[in-house]
Amino acid sequence: MGNPISAASLDLKDNPKKTNKKIMRHQDLTTLQPQGEYFAAVDMGSNSFHLVVVHVVNGNVQVVSKVKQKVQLAAGLDAHNILSKDAMQRGWDCLHTFADRLKDIPASNIKVVATATLRLAGNAQQFVLQAEQILEHKITIISGLEEAEEIYRGVAFTSATKGNTLVIDIGGASTEVVLGRDAIPIHLHSFDMGCVTFTEQFFPNGTISEDAFAQAIESAKKMILPHLAPFKCFDLDLCLGASGTPQAIIEILQEQGNKDAIRLNYLHELRRQCTLYNNLQELKIIGLAESRQAIFPSGLAILIALFESFDIDSMNLAGGALREGLIYGMIDDQPLDDRRNQTITRCIKQFHIQPLQAQQVAHTALSLYQQFCEQSQICSLDSRTLLHTAAMLHEIGMHIGYKNQHAHAQYILMHHDLAGFTKLQKECIAAIVGNHKGDITVSCSEGFPESLSKDILAMIRVLRIAAILHIKRNHMPNLPNEANIKLLLDEDNWTIKLDQTWLSNNKLVQAELANEAWLQHKAKWHLAIETTKTESV
């Protein structure tokens, strides 16, 4: 008996052209696999060891792996700055894990650095020699100033720096402070104080007290004072906190219902919450991760000293730090500017957003928002940036499905990496996009800074109207001119004026605007739609 012949094989045999077509399709699919290079950075910090791996394709940098292990190397330093065998073994065990991940990455694309603890340790070379054998890669012990430079580079590439920016990174055994302008560091210093070393010094045996806090803050201020003058020569436009303590505080604030940036009064409130407990093991603060519990009070004390010494009004969380600085230092062709536009472009491609539709909605939304700003006088340049981004990405949820696309979009934006935007900015964008259609959740602006809360609601309203005006997706880039759109304000009472002929020719838009007026009424707002006649020449 011969071999059975399937229907598929008959189809291919009888139709050679179809065979070639199917083969070509299969071959074409292979070309869709992304090309590019992998880069990795290892940061052997005083508290934790970090590994980050990125994939770079056409200039776009995508994080594909992050590993963090709590090693607490600094806790192994004795009074003579000699690392204990137990501390070194913890580090070596961690690096065995990292080594397995680094096997398939070219050595030229890997950078491994050690920071404060190994700068201090008298037997650092003993640790490094064994570590280099494990990783099969050279380890560089970088100076405090080199660490500060790399941290600033990492922040500049991943966050929206503007004007004079102060960057602070509280590590396990050192704290780096950098003043820069845009992507260029101007003045920097590395202080010999960190959350692990300060825990050992001021909170011995895990004891928490008001006196311990006061002593830690005062000690930090004494270290800062001799180096303060060069920083104080500049007026600050922005302050960003990298990693560790600032991230822990942001997580606590959010868990406690506060979406504001970090402010000094919040820090003192957290200090009060800490002193309700007698021991670090008992410390229970809503939103504080268990892994940060033992070193949180010391990091908090250092941050309070920095806020008071540098007269910091508010601090936002940076998108990157030392690891990212090492990565971008290896990527020679990565441009320093326009990171936000790169992020928007990448999202448009990744989530199949129609670029022309997004551009038109953004154009109309910004035109309406400009009219809002002229009448309300409460807008900022940052708000326009947030609205532009929200408008460009408002259809990101359609990648999942049309129904509830706004809810899908909000989830994606909250959990997607938006390089060039701080965590607070990302939450603003998500709140705006999450309300660009359907019922309005007015409470979405709660928890944001008061100055931003009202602005968010205004941006939601203009984006909703802009999306409706372009609902026919018929490519009218000059819509504001054609429709002669005017926005008039009377507090929360808005009036939209449109050209009568234009609106009559767009019945779908007319119906959707009427429905929008009802939805805004349900939100306790008032939206009136009026028409104007085009004057004949």
pLDDT at res. 137: 93
* DSSP conformational letter for 278: S
Domain 339-532, CATH 1.10.3210.10 — does that match? yes
Lowest mean pLDDT among 56-60, 69-73, 218-222: 56-60
Phi, psi of 179 (to 5 degrees): -105, 125
Q: How sure is the predictor about 338, in pLDDT bands with cuts at 50, 70 and 90?
A: low
Average pLDDT, the chain: 86
pLDDT at res. 339: 67
Q: What gap in Å lies between CA 42 and CA 48, rounded to an integer?
A: 11
**Could you tell me what percent of the chain has a pLDDT over 70?**
89
CB 172 within 8 A of CB 45: yes
CATH 3.30.420.150 occupies which residues in the chain?
144-328
Q: How sure is the predictor about 234, in pLDDT bands with cuts at 50, 70 and 90?
A: confident
Which among 179, 150, 153, 175 is positioned nearest to 167, based on CA atoms?
A: 179
Lowest mean pLDDT among 56-60, 100-104, 528-532: 56-60
The larger pLDDT score, comparing residue 20 to residue 260, is at 260
What pLDDT, in 10s, does the model give residues 450-491? 778 888 999 999 999 999 999 988 766 556 666 678 999 988
The larger pLDDT score, comparing residue 13 to residue 528, is at 528
What pLDDT, in 10s, does the model give residues 280-291? 999 999 999 998
Q: Hey, what CATH topology would domain 37-142 get?
A: Nucleotidyltransferase; domain 5 (3.30.420)
Start-end of H helices in 256-295: 264-274
The answer on pLDDT for 303 being more than 90 is yes
What average pLDDT does this structure show over 393-420?
Answer: 87
pLDDT at res. 179: 93
CATH 1.10.3210.10 occupies which residues in the chain?
339-532
pLDDT at res. 532: 86
pLDDT at res. 34: 52
pLDDT at res. 501: 87
CATH 3.30.420.40 occupies which residues in the chain?
37-142
CA distances from 411 to 318, 428, 434 (A): 21, 12, 8
The answer on pLDDT for 335 being more than 90 is no
Kindly give the pairing relationship between strand 164-170 and strand 175-181. antiparallel
The answer on pLDDT for 72 being more than 70 is yes
CA distances from 217 to 231, 272, 300, 309, 412 (A): 19, 14, 9, 10, 40
**Whose structure tokens read 């532009």?**
388
Q: Hey, what CATH topology would domain 144-328 get?
A: Nucleotidyltransferase; domain 5 (3.30.420)
pLDDT at res. 462: 95
pLDDT at res. 30: 42
Q: What gap in Å lies between CA 40 and CA 152, rounded to an integer?
A: 18
CB 285 within 8 A of CB 251: no
The larger pLDDT score, comparing residue 424 to residue 364, is at 364
**Inter-helix orientation angle 381-392/423-433, to 10°:** 50
The answer on pLDDT for 342 being more than 60 is yes
CA distances from 288 to 244, 295, 296, 409 (A): 12, 11, 9, 28
pLDDT at res. 16: 45
What average pLDDT does this structure show over 144-167?
Answer: 86
